[in-house]
């Protein structure tokens, strides 16, 4: 008789409760470990790479294709997207007749990249296009009737919305009234009712069966452009043959990474091939941003997500929202460097504002809830906060308190604009939509991990109570069972550059395909000190004397930071991801520490 399977996995290294309050468990279960062994044997993969793949659900036969994703093999026929052929035909007509096209984009990285991608495509065919990015504070998200009217007054014969427009009924009705066609290319969740437009390409519309709902807007735009280019070639346009769309995959990869969409299917190919394109530095704007960010080595997903993306977003948060899209359309390196410097300066200002606002938000959260353990959802609000930074505040609060969190900026009239971020397993977008239905919000929406809302100050208390009741049971259950999934264990001597390179072949890592986490067991903390903005620098030493450098970001005032800073000379288990940093022309191995526990 087979032995019963224990439903509760054994704690990895015996860590039942770490510094961050988590139980460590092995990511690959026994079945996944068996798959990893078969992968390694059949395909000649390094054992650790096979273990990483198997732990993320990759099958034995899927491994070769997963490690070498291609656009050709993973992109379906663009015609499978509802309205894609209609959109392509309308763009082809605009190109053939030389119409003036207005591109209405969102103010984040996905909107900027999508706008630049379409702009470059039209420019190749000699079409005059204008990009319009709304002001985050004064206009808000998506098309508005006034802006649509201005674009038409300036001669737009066709309006294309990218990364927005699916729910912009009033604004698109304005274009219809004035007999101007609108093509919507988007990826956001939407309801039953469709806005008035010539074509709406959104893999998340209810009647779309393409299965591409995980794409960001730039990924959808790329598919529409593939369909348009195919049509132009069929009709013999003289400039169609010379266009290589794959050269612009750097923009698609940037948007895919920064919009934190799942890195599965076509998105993996977009990122892998887009990083190759980015390393050629053919986009003057991207090259200028990489330079101002001080990136010396080959471009990685980390560079896009944490160094390039925030600088593009800084324009939309506290400056000129159109700077990012304008930069990504440029071919002139001198002009690109000027705008990149502006964005870098805005990002520094954003960082300074964030530090002040975060301290206020954390103080308010503690005053309002006493301790995070008693709260199911954190809701903070102030009048003097910058509306462009509330999303970052929510993300930081979520990280610190490990609870879904909202930050709301109220204007002098008592109208609050807020953003929320969630923990894995709790759908924050659904909760916000329920609050809209309950009449507690002026408007609101989002997806499982992020949401936006508008609320009147008089209803803030009711909103807090509603969120608490709606989330209490689910969030508390998630908090009580937090675990950190560990891919494997290694020592300082085993953490080599060769190993990092092997692991990277299983990437890119991100949403839906998480960065591998390794445990470094029973190492001595030889040195630990605070550096930079609240970070902790650590030197770990193995029993054989080999040392490994590590860093715990934004940890100095957390239980993790306290364990590291107060643990000099003690033995600890450390968990984190390995990386190879470029410094003065050389590569150095480092572990980015996310958790630790005393080695008992």
Domain final position from 234, 259, 278? 278
The yes-or-no verdict on residue 582 having pLDDT over 60 is yes
Helices (H), 205-329: 217-234, 249-258, 266-278, 284-292, 301-302, 309-318, 323-329
The yes-or-no verdict on residue 375 having pLDDT over 90 is no
Query: What was the pLDDT predicted at 108?
Result: 92
Structural domain including 389 reads: 370-480
97 and 188 both lie in a single domain: yes
Identify whether 517 is part of a domain: yes
Query: What was the pLDDT predicted at 5?
Result: 47
What are the tens digits of pLDDT across the range 557-578?
899 999 999 999 999 999 999 9
Query: What is the three-class DSSP state of 228?
Result: helix
Of the ranges 58-67, 224-233, 579-588, which is most confident?
Answer: 224-233
What are the tens digits of pLDDT across the range 456-489?
999 999 999 999 999 999 999 998 889 999 999 9
177 and 34 both lie in a single domain: no
448 and 552 both lie in a single domain: no
464 and 522 both lie in a single domain: no
DSSP 538: E
Q: Per residue in 566-591, is it b (16+ CB within 10 Å) or e — as a string?
A: ebeeeebbbbbbbbbeeeeeeeebbb
Query: What was the pLDDT predicted at 228?
Result: 98
Say which CATH number the domain at 246 has. 3.90.1640.30
Domain final position from 480, 498, 531? 480
103 and 244 both lie in a single domain: yes
Cα-Cα-Cα-Cα dihedral sign, residues 156, 202, 404, 264: negative
112 and 257 both lie in a single domain: yes
Residue 560 CA: distances (Å) to CA of 23, 393, 397, 498, 566: 14, 20, 16, 29, 10
Residue 368 pLDDT level (bands cut at 50, 70, 90) = confident
Question: For the chain, how are helix, strand and coil distributed in percent, rounded to 5?
Answer: 45, 20, 35
DSSP secondary structure of 155-172? T-SEEEEES--TT-HHHH
Count the domains in the chain. 3
**Portion of the chain with pLDDT greater than 70, in percent:** 98
559 and 413 both lie in a single domain: no
580 and 442 both lie in a single domain: no
Query: What is the three-class DSSP state of 39?
Result: helix
Distance CA 539, CA 19 (A): 18
Say which CATH number the domain at 415 has. 3.10.310.30
- This model's pTM is above 0.85: yes
CB atoms within 10 A of CB 359: 10
Query: What was the pLDDT predicted at 557?
Result: 87
Q: Judge contact between 28 and 55, C-beta under 8 A.
A: yes
What are the tens digits of pLDDT across the range 39-83?
999 999 988 899 999 999 999 999 999 999 999 999 999 999 999
The yes-or-no verdict on residue 507 having pLDDT over 80 is yes
The yes-or-no verdict on residue 10 having pLDDT over 70 is yes
Query: What was the pLDDT predicted at 371?
Result: 67
Identify whether 314 is part of a domain: no
Query: What was the pLDDT predicted at 4?
Result: 44
∠ at Cα 202 (197, 208), nearest 5°?
A: 105
Q: SS3 letters for 71-111?
A: HHHHCCCHHHCCCHHHHHHHHHHHHHHCCCEEEEECCCHHH
Domain final position from 258, 278, 298? 278
465 and 494 both lie in a single domain: no
Say which CATH number the domain at 492 has. 2.40.50.460
Identify whether 339 is part of a domain: no
The yes-or-no verdict on residue 296 having pLDDT over 70 is yes
472 and 510 both lie in a single domain: no
Query: What was the pLDDT predicted at 7?
Result: 61
Residue 372 pLDDT level (bands cut at 50, 70, 90) = low
Tell me what the mean pLDDT of segment 126-152 comes to: 92
Structure-token pair, residue 227: 């369909």
Tell me what the mean pLDDT of segment 210-230 comes to: 97
Identify whether 36 is part of a domain: yes
465 and 528 both lie in a single domain: no
547 and 569 both lie in a single domain: yes
The yes-or-no verdict on residue 320 having pLDDT over 50 is yes
What are the tens digits of pLDDT across the range 517-562?
999 999 999 999 999 888 999 999 999 999 999 999 989 989 999 9
Taking each helix axis from N to C end, the angle separating 428-437 and 460-480, rounded to the nearest 10 degrees, works out to 150
Tell me what the mean pLDDT of segment 436-453 comes to: 89
Residue 151 pLDDT level (bands cut at 50, 70, 90) = very high
Tell me what the mean pLDDT of segment 133-161 comes to: 93
Residue 591 pLDDT level (bands cut at 50, 70, 90) = very high
Structure-token pair, residue 141: 């998200």
């Amino acid at each position: 008789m087979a032995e019963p399977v224990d439903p509760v996995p054994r704690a990895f290294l015996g860590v039942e409760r770490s510094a961050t309050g988590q139980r460590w468990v092995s990511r690959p279960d026994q079945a996944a470990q068996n798959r990893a062994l078969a992968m390694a044997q059949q395909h000649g993969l390094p054992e650790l790479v096979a273990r990483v793949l198997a732990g993320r659900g990759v099958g034995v036969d899927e491994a070769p294709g997963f490690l070498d994703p291609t656009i050709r093999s993973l992109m379906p026929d663009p015609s499978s997207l509802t309205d894609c052929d209609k959109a392509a035909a309308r763009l082809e007509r605009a190109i053939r007749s030389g119409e003036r096209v207005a591109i209405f984009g969102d103010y984040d990285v996905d909107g900027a990249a999508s706008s630049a991608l379409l702009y470059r495509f039209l420019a190749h065919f000699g079409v005059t296009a204008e990009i319009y990015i709304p002001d985050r504070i004064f206009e808000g998200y998506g098309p508005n009737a006034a802006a649509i009217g201005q674009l038409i007054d300036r001669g737009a014969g066709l309006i294309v919305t990218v990364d927005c427009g699916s729910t912009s009924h009033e604004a698109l009705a304005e274009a219809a009234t004035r007999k101007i066609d609108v093509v919507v290319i988007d990826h956001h969740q939407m309801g039953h009712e469709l806005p008035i437009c010539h074509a709406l390409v959104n893999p998340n519309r209810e009647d779309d069966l393409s299965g591409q709902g995980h794409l960001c807007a730039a990924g959808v735009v790329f598919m529409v452009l593939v369909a348009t280019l195919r049509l132009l070639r069929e009709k013999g346009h003289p400039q169609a043959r010379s266009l290589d769309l794959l050269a612009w995959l750097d923009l698609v990869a940037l948007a895919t990474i920064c919009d934190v969409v799942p890195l599965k299917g076509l998105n993996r190919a977009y990122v892998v091939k887009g990083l190759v394109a980015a390393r050629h530095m053919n986009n003057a704007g991207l090259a200028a941003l990489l330079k101002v960010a001080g990136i010396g080595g080959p471009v990685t997903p980390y560079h896009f997500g944490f160094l390039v993306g925030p600088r593009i977003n800084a324009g939309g948060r506290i400056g000129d929202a159109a700077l990012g899209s304008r930069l990504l359309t440029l071919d002139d390196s001198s002009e690109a460097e000027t705008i990149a410097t502006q964005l870098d300066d805005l990002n520094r200002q954003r960082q300074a504002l964030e530090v002040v606002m975060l301290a206020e938000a954390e103080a308010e959260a503690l005053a309002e809830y006493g301790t995070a353990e008693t709260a199911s959802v954190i809701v903070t609000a102030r009048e003097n906060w910058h509306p462009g930074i509330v999303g970052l505040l929510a993300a930081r609060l979520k990280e610190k308190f490990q609870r879904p969190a909202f930050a709301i900026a109220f204007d002098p009239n008592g109208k609050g604009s807020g953003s929320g971020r969630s923990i894995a397993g709790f759908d924050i977008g659904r909760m916000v939509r329920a609050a809209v239905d309950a009449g507690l919000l002026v408007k609101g929406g989002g997806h499982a991990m992020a949401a936006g809302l508008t609320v009147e100050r008089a209803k803030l208390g009711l909103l807090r109570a509603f969120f608490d009741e709606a989330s209490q049971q689910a969030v508390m259950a998630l908090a009580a069972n937090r675990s950190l999934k560990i891919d494997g264990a290694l020592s300082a001597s085993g953490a080599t550059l060769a190993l990092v390179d092997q692991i990277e072949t299983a990437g890119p890592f991100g949403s839906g395909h998480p960065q591998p986490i390794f445990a470094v067991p029973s190492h001595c903390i030889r040195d630990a000190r605070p550096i930079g903005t609240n970070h902790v620098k650590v030197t770990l030493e193995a029993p054989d004397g080999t040392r490994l450098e590590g860093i715990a970001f934004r940890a100095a005032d957390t239980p993790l930071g306290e364990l590291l800073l107060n643990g000099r000379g003690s033995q600890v288990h450390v968990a984190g991801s390995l990386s190879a940093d470029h410094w003065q022309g050389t590569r150095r191995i480092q572990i980015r520490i996310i958790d630790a526990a005393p080695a008992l």
